[in-house]
Amino acid sequence: MKLHLYNTLTRSNQLFAPLKPDVVRMYSCGPTVYNYAHIGNIRAFLFPDLLQRVLRVVCGYRVEWVMNITDIEDKIILDSSLGSATWKPEMGVQTNNPNDNAAKLALFYEREFLNDLSIIGIKRSDFHAIPRATDFIGEITALVRKIVENGFGYESDGSVYFNLAEWRKSEKYGQLFTIDTENFRAGVRIDADEYDRDQVSDFVLWKAHKEGEPSWDFELNGKNLRGRPGWHIECSAMGHATLGLPFDIHTGGVDLRFPHHEDEIAQSKAGYGVETSAFWCHNEFLEVEGTKMSKSKGNFFTLRDLLDKGLDAMDIRFAMMSAQYNSVFNFTFFGLESARKARFRIQDYIHDLHESPLDSSALTSSYISEFRREVFAELLNNLHTPKALERVFAYINAHPAGSLDEESRNHLIAFFRELNAIFEVWVISKRPEKHVEIPEEVRNYAEQRWQAKIERNFALADQMRLKISELGFTVLDSKDSYTIEELPH
């Protein structure tokens, strides 16, 4: 089955086909690990997770999914200084060497992040690689060198910049995002990794060493430019090293279109001479009361904040998956509650399917095939999860679980299993048998009652029964033994 995907590069819903037969190579911009991920960030990873699952489960492709870890960047350095809010004593602040502190901070939050991914149902085994920027310094410096050799980069004060004026003579800059070049002046440089569209300038590829910052040697034209990479060049080098260029799909949040992705496209082409990716796909923001959730605005919840409030990670996952990835998701607690109800409506139906009696006169298997085709068609239409779920609800509302013969019931259960390989929020089985631990006290009373009955001391037996029921249990007698059961709540 064929997938249509919105491609920011062509500004259209495009029919997807991988560049190499049967394997889809996909790169997702990962987190900058200087703090706990907030659930807005998590949306940016649930989107490629959904996409890779649809590509595997519905389209039948093998997927090589790479998500990087940005473990060297301005914010990490800033926050690894002693006394910063995200620096925690348990990371072990026992060194004055700032190089170590940045690495420790990054490693700490990388672990927390990977843990969050598994809590939210993103599986480690679904990744082809999770490269860390600091493990690719050799590839990064090689790329900077190539860009300079090809005439699109230059050194200034120990840093290396991308020569945008030179690049724009023959190449397009601003493919994903409409860029404001009115203020652009050739040779004006910007050292920050993040900047606005009206600050388009020669952006930094390699940053000269500053006192107290982590740094690496970099030999360029016989000079050692000790320093560290800019943010954008990291993804160019890691995408090339782990997947080869061009690959099929590049993902990230809409805020990454410019400058991060725009600069990535320019760097990779200037250095490697090839395009980066056939499809560029961007998730919209998760908002709180009309404002993007972000660390800097302070309007954020981390996953652990929500779990601490007693919320279930599967409800958070389902709530986010219930909205189309490229529409704004408005986060509310009421929304999470509704998502929970909706999730359980489907969960109950799946349990009922296993438990209800069969009806041989009922729906045929081809009816289920058609239902499956319709649900998948919605997912193949740019991952339209809300419409796919709408079809699931329409089906379960119209067809009680008992209205199936054996073949069509098995068929429907198999379909829910496939659907869960995408949504990953249900249990595809009978209701689990509740295992009730019977307290020692209850067992003692029950035994005393049984002895009292044998001795025909019915008054004592009744007293024991009362004590047992006060503890929430009851005894059922048969001819020569008894069982203990929990009373319904």
Distance separating alpha carbons of residues 91 and 348, to the nearest angstrom: 44
Nearest to 285 by CA among 327, 251, 313, 257: 327
Smallest gap from residue 102 Cβ to ligand AMP (A): 16
Answer for which of 18, 40, 214, 229 binds ligand AMP (CB under 6 A) is 40
Considering only the stretches 26-34, 97-105, 363-371, 478-486, report the one whose residues sit in contact with ligand AMP under the rule CB under 6 A: 26-34
Query: For helices 39-57 and 313-321, what crossing angle results, to 10°?
Result: 70
Q: Kindly state whether residue 292 participates in binding ligand AMP, applying the rule CB under 6 A.
A: yes
- Pick one of Zn ion, ligand AMP, none as the site partner of residue 235 (Cβ within 5 to 8 A by kind): Zn ion
Q: Which is nearer to ligand AMP, 32 or 175 (CB)?
A: 32
Considering only the stretches 15-23, 286-294, 354-362, 411-419, report the one whose residues sit in contact with ligand AMP under the rule CB under 6 A: 286-294
Alpha helices in 256-326 (DSSP H): 262-272, 303-308, 313-321
Considering only the stretches 59-67, 139-147, 249-257, 471-479, report the one whose residues sit in contact with ligand AMP under the rule CB under 6 A: 249-257
Answer for which of 31, 230, 239, 246 binds ligand AMP (CB under 6 A) is 31
Q: Kindly state whether residue 32 participates in binding ligand AMP, applying the rule CB under 6 A.
A: yes
Distance separating alpha carbons of residues 394 and 462, to the nearest angstrom: 52
Q: Dihedral (C-alpha) 234, 37, 248, 314: value to the nearest 10 degrees?
A: 160
Q: Kindly state whether residue 67 participates in binding ligand AMP, applying the rule CB under 6 A.
A: no
- Which sign does the torsion angle of CA 338, 343, 346, 349 carry? negative
| Tally: H helices and E strands in the chain | 15, 18
Distance separating alpha carbons of residues 69 and 202, to the nearest angstrom: 25
Q: How are beta strands 227-229 and 189-190 bridged, if at all?
A: unpaired
Nearest to 226 by CA among 137, 310, 288, 297: 137
Answer for which of 286, 320, 368, 383 binds ligand AMP (CB under 6 A) is 286
Instruction: Considering only CA atoms, give the Rg of the chain.
Output: 29
Smallest gap from residue 264 Cβ to ligand AMP (A): 13
Distance separating alpha carbons of residues 379 and 50, to the nearest angstrom: 10
Q: Which is nearer to ligand AMP, 255 or 405 (CB)?
A: 255
Answer for which of 3, 24, 27, 43 binds ligand AMP (CB under 6 A) is 43
Q: How are beta strands 202-208 and 159-162 bridged, if at all?
A: antiparallel
* DSSP bridge partners of 15: 4
Smallest gap from residue 208 Cβ to ligand AMP (A): 23
Answer for which of 5, 24, 26, 29 binds ligand AMP (CB under 6 A) is 29
Tally of residues, the chain: 489
Q: Kindly state whether residue 230 participates in binding ligand AMP, applying the rule CB under 6 A.
A: no
Smallest gap from residue 182 Cβ to ligand AMP (A): 26
65 near 126, Cβ under 8 Å? Answer: yes
Residue nearest to ligand AMP (CB): 253
Smallest gap from residue 235 Cβ to Zn ion (A): 3
- Token pair of 241, please? 């090293």
Q: Kindly state whether residue 256 participates in binding ligand AMP, applying the rule CB under 6 A.
A: yes
Q: Kindly state whether residue 253 participates in binding ligand AMP, applying the rule CB under 6 A.
A: yes
Smallest gap from residue 255 Cβ to ligand AMP (A): 5
Q: Kindly state whether residue 285 participates in binding ligand AMP, applying the rule CB under 6 A.
A: yes
- Pick one of Zn ion, ligand AMP, none as the site partner of residue 294 (Cβ within 5 to 8 A by kind): ligand AMP
236 Cβ partners below 8 Å, 6+ apart? 143, 264, 267, 268, 271, 276
Site for ligand AMP, rule CB under 6 A: 29, 31-32, 40-41, 43-44, 252-253, 255-256, 283, 285-286, 292-294
